[in-house]
Structure 1
Amino acid sequence: MTEQFVNIEPHPRILTVLGDIEFSPLQCLSELVDNAFDEFLSSPAVDGERPTVNVNLPGKEGNARTAEVWVTDNGRGMDLPTLNNAVRAGWSGNARYGALGLYGMGFNIATARLGRLTTIRTTRAGDPSWTVLDLDLDALVKGGSYNVPARQEPKASPEEHGTQIIIKNLKTDQWQELVRRGDKLREQLGDVYSYLLRERGFLITVNGKKTQPRLPCVWDASRTVTRKGNTIPAVIEFDERLLPAMACFNCGWWSPSGADKCDDCESTNIQERERRIWGWVGIQRYHHANDYGLDFLRNGRKILTRDKKLFSWEDPDGIEGPDLEYPIDSIRGGKGRIVGEIHCDHVPVYYTKTRFIEESPEWIKLVRTIRGTVPMKEKKAQQLYRRTNDSYLGRLYTGFRRDDAGLNYLLPGAGGKVLFDKAIEWAEKFRKGDPDYQTDEKWYEAAYLNDHPVTVDPGDVDADPFAAMGLGQGPTAAPTSVSPSPAPATPIPAAKTLDDRLADYRAAGSQVVDLSGEYEVKGHGSVSLTVWAVKGVVLADQKGTNVPLFAHLRKAPDVEIFVDITHSLFTEYGVDFRDMAMVELAEWIRVARGATKPLSTVLMDLKSRATDQKVTAEALTGRATRLLDRVKDAMQREIKGGAPTGYWDMLQESEKVRAQQRFVVEGGNGGWESAIEAGDFVPFLPPNAVVRLLELRPDAFLDGKVFHRPYANLTDQESRALVLTRLTGLVSDLAVMAEHQPKLDLDELARIRLSCLLVERDLADTE
């Protein structure tokens, strides 16, 4: 019987079908950029030229049929056989491992998705001409043949080299997206290829403008925090070298080292290759709802960008569903700052290059390496596995999961309030390349000043009866600065010029970071404000008149405001120098900009911009709750080391009932009786119970244990009573706010804010 065959060669229509695959304009351009970058990665630059890809997008004029997309590179170029293979659907001359591997199917999908006619021009240095190929999808379908003629075009110089891809007859939806999103696409390409742009010196231009790599805005690796005696850096680097294995270049399967053929497809086209997981995880200098997470790279190109999968714990036994672990303690609700760059060249990806194959053993191993197998929540990890998560991501989580202002969590703040918006504003300047914001110094200074605030001097401490009793400052005294006491004010010599005096003021002052920044008044433009809190000199304005504060235009639109915070206006009459600085700015804008609005309207415009200065019930409720949680964490340590059931017995029955209810609702670990015996009931105590324990056992929580205030060494009972009354009064304010969220007027809210500030200042180092 004669053997028969069936011809399964695909119809040319398959190329048009590829164009229906859902590829975004960014994916299409990335596929074409990858072709050039594979060439750059596999061979040295020609004549030392910088490896460059130029992307030219259509302008706003014209229409989809006349518009074009150009992607050109200065690589070595191709000969005719290589070009022939490069445009064959499903073929790739690149290895599955060690290259981006995007010619073949990826090339055909990208070009067919954008338009219906693609011209490829390529030449090598020394070739007499360009080799040109036209892929006309309509003509291919109509003719029913894959045979495409190649032609030769003259070169301007024999030394020309590279490849040009020109896509024409664009699809209407793609043309509209390319026109509308040109600048955004440049930014996105700088993100996807940021590693290759910054580390390998590759260059991408979009419409003639250089694409900037998206640099990580993270804290310096030298910045650290301490948790339970362990130092945790803000950036953790790692390099995990796995055992090498045999990689199949046909199917991508990994076989044990030493195998002579692929375990899956039995191909002998296998090669032993390195397997390595390396990179870093760290803490961003700002919080964001979306702009955080981990980048996963394959051969220098991002596959996953700011991915958040590893922030959830998945039960390996499948009993519990995914448990989101970060961010759950964020003040802003769902905003995070853990980031990272993880290189995993050996982990397989889908052909769309939008995700890794998460079922593969390689991906599973990567997840275990970066975040471990146990929960990052310490209590849950102890309950289920009797150990903590000390993975790379677990250490960062332990060190930085909370959002408390100051150096303890590396967060810029003012008066105990995190400067979320200010941190983002500074990050934008970092992204724009402002040299003053490339290091983390601005953020660090703001975190430091939160812990060591610039404040009005309270005057003679000896005159304070509380200070004379060894109890610190009285209840009406303002917080003191840790800086040395200023020298007595001396008049400024008349001979000094204004510039000389301004230099003196800056030298004697500290920037008030929570006020400094960009401000705008509708209809009158914007100003860039810097506020200086000055001590030790007498301020004189431009006319030489002594004043408590004044505004000065340094260089449009930069305005400086100098405030003598030792002036009697602030030290004797209780005027808030921050508010006066805003009033001074409002008046300066009215005069200098010719504003016709009332002063109060201008001031409101400015205040609406300074979101970090708000004093609202919602903000203070959250702050009070977080502070009470810190108090309870510290109290629990002392209670667990003492007699936990004794402290439990001090509580009223109603407080015990509420603690047990919270334990049940919030999923406390273990049994309730065990929690009481171990002292693990403390985190579930209602706020008023915290005050009760302080009142009943002050010796257990003062003297640097939970609070700095002295107690045990005071022999005078009246002094002891004063210390305790002052402290419990402040904590009671927090308890009322956290428990009842009362509707308060502005004066009462200001009192709660001051109570929060004083409690936070008095807390001992609970870590």
Structure 2
Amino acid sequence: MTQEFDLTPDARVLQMLGEINLHQWRCVAELIDNSIDGFVGAARAGTPIDHPEITITIPTPNKSDARLSIRDNGPGMAIDVLERAVRAGWSGNNPLTNLGLFGMGFNIATARLGTVTEVWTTRAGEPEWVGVRIDLEGLRASQSYKTPRQTRVKPDHTQHGTEIIITKLKPDQRAYLARSANLGAIRKHLARAYSAILRESEAGRIRLKVNGTKLEPRRHCHWDPDRSVELSDGTVVHAVERFDVALAPRRYCTHCMRALSGDEEQCPNGGPNCEIVTTERRVRGWVGLQRYLHKSDFGIDFIRNGRKIEIGSKDLFAWNNGDNAEIEYPIDDPRNRGRFVGEVHLDHCRVSYTKDRFERDDPSWEEMVRVVRGEGPLRPQAAKQSGFDGNTSPLYKLFQAFRRSSPQGKNGLWSRVLVVKDNDRSEQMAQSFYENDADYLDDERWWKLVEEQDKEILGESGDTDLPDGFLDDGEDGSTSGGSQGDTDGADVSPEPEPAEPPAERNQIHELSRKYVHPTYRVEFQVEAFASEPTDKALTGSLPWSFELDDVATRTYAFVMNPTHDVFRSTTMTAMDALLTELSVQTLDFLKGQVHDVTLANILADYRSSYASATRLEPSEVISMANTGLEEFAKAVANLIPEGQGQTYYAELSKPDREHVARRMAARGVVDVPKVISEGRFWEYMDPQAVVATFTRHPELFFDGKYWSDPYETLSFGADHIDEEARRRLVLRYEAYLGDTLWLANQSSRDLETANRDEIIRASCSLRLMKPDVDLE
């Protein structure tokens, strides 16, 4: 009878690790981590590597002999360290301060990509490279984990580093890597994951090259941190809010890789190799505002020891009330686009063995959440209802200032929310930012667009200074008809007429950009200007002109006269004029090259690409109408005098009260009397009933409470005239609310067949019913 059991795992275990679903770029990242740890370890030991570099070679042909390699010029490993490094599950580094040297991640990554892996390493002064070959199929056939040591010639004894070579790539992996688009995706992912390390690390600036191309860190395209707005309570919120918070030190077992709870003195596992250390802990980073909106490209990156483990996470944008998670951002954009971004360094929190997620059950995660977003909901009203108050976290502040993607109120300014209205243009400029175009690295071009948008709202036409000589012709102040007097009786020659100054052109940044036809790829680089009727480009009272201005750069100048009669129309804008010119030019270019092309389809394509902001998209306007009515109803709780909620509730008809009761029950409201006394029952009313209540109590909304129009403060000197003016004011806003109700009650199919003028009118009413004050 046997006296012991042999628990050596079957060699198939290593092959099974390769079945774990790990994205190709993460497999490469696992091997990059090993190299970075080597550089960092050398720096900490006082022997830093000069010009640290990691070179990745990814096969592009889909051939059976394809190989993937990662090579560095790090310190290299001793033979005994190499032996342990490739052993399944082993890790020889402090997981708190390193990315993790080899270990399980190495085995998963290499087995995922191929069936044969070689690891070669050498240190400075050693005469040869030493290597180990891991052949998964060979190990399985021999049922043994033993593999011979290998060596190769090293001509230069000063050379040092490590190289990992993966061969016999799996067919699906070869096919994926052979697609050129996937090589670009891997580069993009790695540039983002290691952006902090590529900028600077303990080991200095590490160069990372993929197939000969040096990776530049992919930075966030956020607004300048110095840009800020002031909330109604005086709080200043910056476009980038930074934080660096020290947490209480915690004891940690380096052998078991787990943190101890506050009352634990020893590791619960109690193993002989357990080693307890006390670790200092910090949560640092920033949250900020991206310069463009996007449906998916936003969120917070979570970083461990310099590598981004989670990229673009949306988890902090949801409030978990214990039963379910409520999405709080983005909720104010009709297209469900967001722009909150950030980076959070969380070195002391556990991550999954595949290093693609922080463990949410680690207490350190909850501590980070409290630092970054605080306790309770981000929505002020929801926070108040849930009993949370006094949140000063960076994400909470950012939410209060910039949650919306358009200005609040009829006269709201875009600078108040830092949004470029033409988001397609903003995204195009962001692409130039990501390509490291020097003209787009700062946010000035975005800011000029915002300023133009505000001028349009404020009715400003730009610089109104009078030109020199407008009021007088002489330097001494004499007018053009005055006499200079005699000069010793001599004839005085008349001074030559001063040359008329050229018309002043003001650039229209909103229109200045590259335009590309989506089908035929005809390109135009355009600089747009607003000018005066006297501009030489507008001779003959032209409303606009379009000419090739710079032959070398193929840049066209679009010059328009904003005071021309053609632009005094709701159906003709500068954008319409420019797209018409582009269409004519494109049609002319395509003559003789493309058959069956017409001005109509070219113009339609251009408008689809560049005039999306003026589209009457049914689903979007319906969503905006519903959102507007919800905000209107929610605002009432703050408008009703304190303690008067029950009085206003009693005015409701019996059917309206029953409707409110059903909605409260459906949403799980517990403290019904409190909701009624605070006036929050409006949130649960039928929208039609909300509008009817406005008609009964218009005094709650005007005089700067919701809208700025005077109501109770109206004074024309006679009571009956004041009452008539108030009645007309209420009728006007009832019409706005009625149009918004009509929109909210439509389906997309209804609007597809509705009268276009009705939709335009309702859309205008939707904008006009917006509040004039900042309610939160």
Relative to the length of structure 1, the TM-score reads: 0.83
Q: State the match for 1:540 in structure 2.
A: 536
The aligned runs of 1:306-345 (5 Å cut-off) are 306-316=312-322, 320-333=323-336, 335-345=337-347
Of the three residues 259, 284, 295, the one matched with 2:290 is 284
Once the 2 structures are TM-superposed, how far is the Cα of residue 571 of structure 1 from its aligned partner? Answer: 3.4
Unaligned runs of 5+ in 1: 455-478
Could you tell me whether the CA contact under 8 Å between 1:638 and 1:701 is conserved in 2? yes
**1:167 has 2:162 as partner:** no
The aligned runs of 1:393-432 (5 Å cut-off) are 393-405=395-407, 406-407=413-414, 410-414=417-421, 419-432=422-435
Alpha-carbon distance in structure 2 between the residues aligned to 1:314 and 1:692? 35
What SS does the aligned partner of 1:305 have?
strand
The aligned runs of 1:399-548 (5 Å cut-off) are 399-405=401-407, 406-407=413-414, 410-414=417-421, 419-453=422-456, 480-481=459-460, 483=462, 485=464, 506=505, 508-513=506-511, 516=513, 518-520=515-517, 522-523=519-520, 525-532=522-529, 534-536=530-532, 538-541=534-537, 544-548=539-543
Once the 2 structures are TM-superposed, how far is the Cα of residue 69 of structure 1 from its aligned partner? Answer: 0.6
Could you tell me whether the CA contact under 8 Å between 2:17 and 2:112 is conserved in 1? yes
Q: Cα deviation per residue 1:603-654 (whole Å; 9 max; x = unaligned)?
A: 1111111222212444333334444445555554333359556656777777
What SS does the aligned partner of 2:534 have?
coil
**1:385 has 2:387 as partner:** yes
**1:300 has 2:309 as partner:** no
What SS does the aligned partner of 1:387 have?
coil
Once the 2 structures are TM-superposed, how far is the Cα of residue 291 of structure 1 from its aligned partner? Answer: 2.2
Alpha-carbon distance in structure 1 between the residues aligned to 2:334 and 2:677? 32
Q: State the match for 2:254 in structure 1.
A: 249
The one-letter amino acid of 2:91's match is S
Q: State the match for 2:491 in structure 1.
A: none
Alpha-carbon distance in structure 2 between the residues aligned to 1:203 and 1:413? 35
Alpha-carbon distance in structure 2 between the residues aligned to 1:585 and 1:495? 38
The one-letter amino acid of 2:200's match is E
Identity of aligned pairs, percent? 31
Q: State the match for 2:581 in structure 1.
A: 584
Deviates more, 1:73-82 or 1:552-561: 552-561
Once the 2 structures are TM-superposed, how far is the Cα of residue 71 of structure 1 from its aligned partner? Answer: 0.5
Q: Cα deviation per residue 1:39-93 (whole Å; 9 max; x = unaligned)?
A: 11222397763321111011225x23x1111100111122322222222223222
**1:763 has 2:772 as partner:** yes
Could you tell me whether the CA contact under 8 Å between 1:636 and 1:679 is conserved in 2? yes
Deviates more, 1:662-671 or 1:163-172: 662-671
Q: State the match for 1:564 in structure 2.
A: 561
Q: State the match for 1:615 in structure 2.
A: 616
- Relative distance call for 1:641 and 1:552 in structure 2 (3 A) is farther
What SS does the aligned partner of 2:96 have?
coil
Q: State the match for 2:487 in structure 1.
A: none
Of the three residues 754, 764, 772, the one matched with 1:754 is 764
Once the 2 structures are TM-superposed, how far is the Cα of residue 213 of structure 1 from its aligned partner? Answer: 2.1
Q: State the match for 1:211 in structure 2.
A: 215
What SS does the aligned partner of 1:450 have?
helix
Q: State the match for 1:471 in structure 2.
A: none
Q: Cα deviation per residue 1:196-238 (whole Å; 9 max; x = unaligned)?
A: 1123322221111122322122223233344441333332222
Q: State the match for 2:56 in structure 1.
A: 55
- Relative distance call for 1:538 and 1:199 in structure 2 (3 A) is farther
What SS does the aligned partner of 1:174 have?
helix
Q: State the match for 1:466 in structure 2.
A: none
What SS does the aligned partner of 1:579 have?
helix
Once the 2 structures are TM-superposed, how far is the Cα of residue 195 of structure 1 from its aligned partner? Answer: 1.6
- Relative distance call for 1:666 and 1:433 in structure 2 (3 A) is farther
Once the 2 structures are TM-superposed, how far is the Cα of residue 152 of structure 1 from its aligned partner? Answer: 3.5
Alpha-carbon distance in structure 2 between the residues aligned to 1:740 and 1:12? 64
Alpha-carbon distance in structure 1 between the residues aligned to 2:86 and 2:640? 72
- Relative distance call for 1:589 and 1:700 in structure 2 (3 A) is same
Once the 2 structures are TM-superposed, how far is the Cα of residue 13 of structure 1 from its aligned partner? Answer: 4.7
The one-letter amino acid of 1:217's match is C
Q: Cα deviation per residue 1:501-548 (whole Å; 9 max; x = unaligned)?
A: 6xx554x343335x855331533523344433x254533338x54411
Give the aligned length.
721
Alpha-carbon distance in structure 1 between the residues aligned to 2:537 and 2:636? 52
- Relative distance call for 1:593 and 1:136 in structure 2 (3 A) is same
- Relative distance call for 1:93 and 1:265 in structure 2 (3 A) is same
Alpha-carbon distance in structure 2 between the residues aligned to 1:519 and 1:494? 46
What SS does the aligned partner of 1:134 have?
strand
Q: Cα deviation per residue 1:454-501 (whole Å; 9 max; x = unaligned)?
A: 7xxxxxxxxxxxxxxxxxxxxxxxx7337455759999x99999xx96
What SS does the aligned partner of 2:536 have?
coil
Q: State the match for 1:70 in structure 2.
A: 69
Instruction: Quote the RMSD (CA, aligned, Å).
Output: 3.8
Could you tell me whether the CA contact under 8 Å between 2:544 and 2:558 is conserved in 1? yes
Alpha-carbon distance in structure 1 between the residues aligned to 2:521 and 2:301? 42
Relative to the length of structure 2, the TM-score reads: 0.82
Could you tell me whether the CA contact under 8 Å between 1:561 and 1:585 is conserved in 2? no
Once the 2 structures are TM-superposed, how far is the Cα of residue 549 of structure 1 from its aligned partner? Answer: 0.6
Deviates more, 1:375-384 or 1:636-645: 636-645
Q: State the match for 2:378 in structure 1.
A: 376
Once the 2 structures are TM-superposed, how far is the Cα of residue 254 of structure 1 from its aligned partner? Answer: 2.6
- Relative distance call for 1:434 and 1:33 in structure 2 (3 A) is same
Once the 2 structures are TM-superposed, how far is the Cα of residue 665 of structure 1 from its aligned partner? Answer: 4.9
Alpha-carbon distance in structure 1 between the residues aligned to 2:562 and 2:758? 25
Once the 2 structures are TM-superposed, how far is the Cα of residue 143 of structure 1 from its aligned partner? Answer: 4.3
- Relative distance call for 1:713 and 1:49 in structure 2 (3 A) is same
The one-letter amino acid of 1:708's match is S
- Relative distance call for 1:166 and 1:46 in structure 2 (3 A) is farther
Deviates more, 1:647-656 or 1:676-685: 647-656
Once the 2 structures are TM-superposed, how far is the Cα of residue 278 of structure 1 from its aligned partner? Answer: 1.6
Could you tell me whether the CA contact under 8 Å between 1:489 and 1:538 is conserved in 2? no
Once the 2 structures are TM-superposed, how far is the Cα of residue 662 of structure 1 from its aligned partner? Answer: 5.0
What SS does the aligned partner of 1:453 have?
helix
